[in-house]
Structure 1
Amino acid sequence: MDISQLRMLTAIYKGGSIVKAAKSVHCVPSNVTARMKALEAEVGCCLLNRREKGVELSAAGKHLLIHAEKVLEAFAEAQACFNDTQKLSGTLRVGGIDSFVSTRLPAIASAFERDYPQVVLEITTNTWPELVENVLDGKLDIAVVAVDMANPKLSSMKISGEQLVLVYPQEWSHYGPLDLNDRKLLAWPEGCPFHAVAQAWCKESLQGVELVICGSWGGIMTCVEQGIGMAVVPKGVYDNHRALGNISVCETLVFDEVDQFLLTHKRTGGHPVRDGFAQMVCNASVHSI
């Protein structure tokens, strides 16, 4: 016995025929007939009396109708509660890598607060291994990372990636991108996808580059502004820091995008608030050069 069968039963009672009931529940008459026969087999009695000009509920069918109407009413109330995001409450724990949190998340969080005013949004920034571990441990409801996880406990959904640009101190602007040998390259630690892109470019195109590790985009951009070195950064990170004034961007180099992935734990099942946030992330526009 399921909701669709109960809907069909009430539709037959109101319409007085299988054909009218089928139109009401938006399916073919044969489907209604088959589902009613299955329901009769399940409850062990006849629910419909078939007449020459239609059908009517039997005594058992009318008895079941009373309960069906109550179930359908309760189901409709439950649906309405979840459909009205203004009434949803609680806390949504979101984690993300630094570039996502500092560039794309603010606009998403603003829209989320508007649509889910009673939900508290807790935001955590961390490295991708820590974020993955926090989702697995139940410390986060959802996380955005730059690595696709082949973990049987996690659901991973690819979202739009990060466009990358080369930035360097303005006093280097008279050099071409292939004339930056023997310089310092600021990058995240090894294992980070952004580190891999920057290092691969240097190995292929330059010589004598010294790698300087820094664990935040803010720190990397400040070091570039201070003339310490260059960096390959997400376009959104550059946009956030271009007001520093001593940073130039190379418009001619094209890097592969770094994909991003939305992670949730499979055991959590349906989660209307989390799913609403995930939809906002998927719909969010990316920074463009």
Structure 2
Amino acid sequence: MDIRDMQIFLAVAKEGSITRAAEKLEYVQSSISIRIQQLENELKTELFHRGRQGVRLTTSGEALKSYAEKIIHLTQEAERVVSDNSIPRGPLRIGSLETTAAIRLPFILAEYHKSYPEVDLTLKTGTTEELIHSILKYELDGAFVAAPVEHAELDITEVGIEELVFISGGQLSSIDRPEDKLRNLTLLVFRAGCSYRRKLEDWLHLEGIIPAKIMELGTLEGILGCVHAGLGVSLLPRSVVERATVQYNVHYHEISGNFLRTPTLFIRRKDTLKTAAVSEFIRVSRERF
């Protein structure tokens, strides 16, 4: 086995198709097929079940996938260790909540890029649950998520605090008695795995409130647009809502108590190298947040 075999194997496993993996890697399909067959012959086991709809991992393939991910990560980390001379440079893969990416990240990224132009930074958004999964799979170098997060394999740094508030359209001037009004309203939320959604559901349960309807939306703009149109209400960081009032006819309603004050965390795997690029990104984030 060599590193390229592992990269090809992982590409086929991720795409579920030799054809799509070949396109992604810019190889001819026959070359990918031959490399996979050679790898299976070398290991004396089938790694994929082949079918008309593509390929899927066998039990042996699933076992190899876990090791292959670690091998690729360690190879990339070895290159970073050798080349790292305390000057931030090279690739940096960051994940973020949509709300953090919309309000906090532009200023962080602008300052970071100005200070360290040799860093090739890429950004992926998702829910807290999705981002944790990506970190654990070595797909990201770090990510902004919402508390609480507890995992033995994660290094966790608090970078700031968000105050969560209810947001409604202009037609609803106040939510003075949420236990009454929210029962008759549609709640607009991100998909499952969102920490803000979980906080909202926990708060509703604590207050004994069962809303009329819950509607999932995939983007922050989708939620803001639907609130603006009077479709329902949502729970979002105050920083997001204050910025949104410039474009949308919305109001926010503060909720008393510390229950809806949520730390924003920067997470990374403990077993990965904390490069100069990562260290400086955390520093800039804490200062600018």
TM (normalized to structure 1)?
A: 0.63
Matched, 1:197 2:199: yes
Matched, 1:112 2:116: no
Aligned to 1:232: 235
Structure 1 position 196, deviation (Å): 2.4
Report the residue type matching 1:265 in the other structure: R
Structure 1 position 105, deviation (Å): 0.8
* TM-superposition CA deviations, 1:133-157 (whole Å, max 9, x none): 2222222111111244433332122
Report the residue type matching 2:161 in the other structure: G
Q: Check whether the contact 1:170–1:247 (CA below 8 A) recurs between aligned residues.
A: yes
Matched, 1:103 2:103: yes
Aligned to 1:145: 145
Counterpart Cα distance in 1 of 2:141 and 2:150: 18
3-state DSSP of counterpart to 1:109 = helix
Counterpart Cα distance in 1 of 2:236 and 2:225: 12
Which structure has more RCO (C-alpha within 8 Å, separation ≥ 6)? 2
Equivalent position to 2:276, from 248, 272, 276? 272
Counterpart Cα distance in 2 of 1:151 and 1:205: 30
Q: Check whether the contact 2:187–2:214 (CA below 8 A) recurs between aligned residues.
A: yes
> What's the % identity of the aligned pairs?
24
Alpha-carbon distance change, 209 to 277 in structure 1, aligned in 2, over 3 angstroms? same
Equivalent position to 2:221, from 215, 218, 221? 218
Counterpart Cα distance in 2 of 1:194 and 1:251: 15
Q: Check whether the contact 1:160–1:259 (CA below 8 A) recurs between aligned residues.
A: yes
Aligned to 1:134: 134
Counterpart Cα distance in 2 of 1:148 and 1:205: 23
Structure 1 position 128, deviation (Å): 2.1
3-state DSSP of counterpart to 2:271 = helix
Structure 1 position 119, deviation (Å): 1.2
3-state DSSP of counterpart to 1:218 = helix
Report the residue type matching 1:234 in the other structure: P
The 5 Å alignment of 1:58-73 reads none
Aligned to 1:173: 173
Alpha-carbon distance change, 205 to 253 in structure 1, aligned in 2, over 3 angstroms? farther
Q: Check whether the contact 2:188–2:234 (CA below 8 A) recurs between aligned residues.
A: yes
Aligned to 1:257: 261
Name stretches of at least 5 consecutive residues in structure 2 with no aligned partner.
Answer: 1-81
Q: Check whether the contact 2:224–2:248 (CA below 8 A) recurs between aligned residues.
A: no
Name stretches of at least 5 consecutive residues in structure 1 with no aligned partner.
Answer: 1-77
Q: Check whether the contact 2:146–2:262 (CA below 8 A) recurs between aligned residues.
A: yes
Aligned to 2:32: none
Structure 1 position 188, deviation (Å): 2.1
3-state DSSP of counterpart to 1:267 = coil
Q: Check whether the contact 2:129–2:193 (CA below 8 A) recurs between aligned residues.
A: no
* TM-superposition CA deviations, 1:19-56 (whole Å, max 9, x none): xxxxxxxxxxxxxxxxxxxxxxxxxxxxxxxxxxxxxx
Deviates more, 1:251-260 or 1:235-244: 251-260
3-state DSSP of counterpart to 2:231 = coil
Counterpart Cα distance in 1 of 2:94 and 2:134: 10
Counterpart Cα distance in 1 of 2:245 and 2:158: 28
Alpha-carbon distance change, 230 to 177 in structure 1, aligned in 2, over 3 angstroms? farther
Q: Check whether the contact 2:95–2:144 (CA below 8 A) recurs between aligned residues.
A: yes
Q: Check whether the contact 1:202–1:209 (CA below 8 A) recurs between aligned residues.
A: no
The 5 Å alignment of 1:30-49 reads none
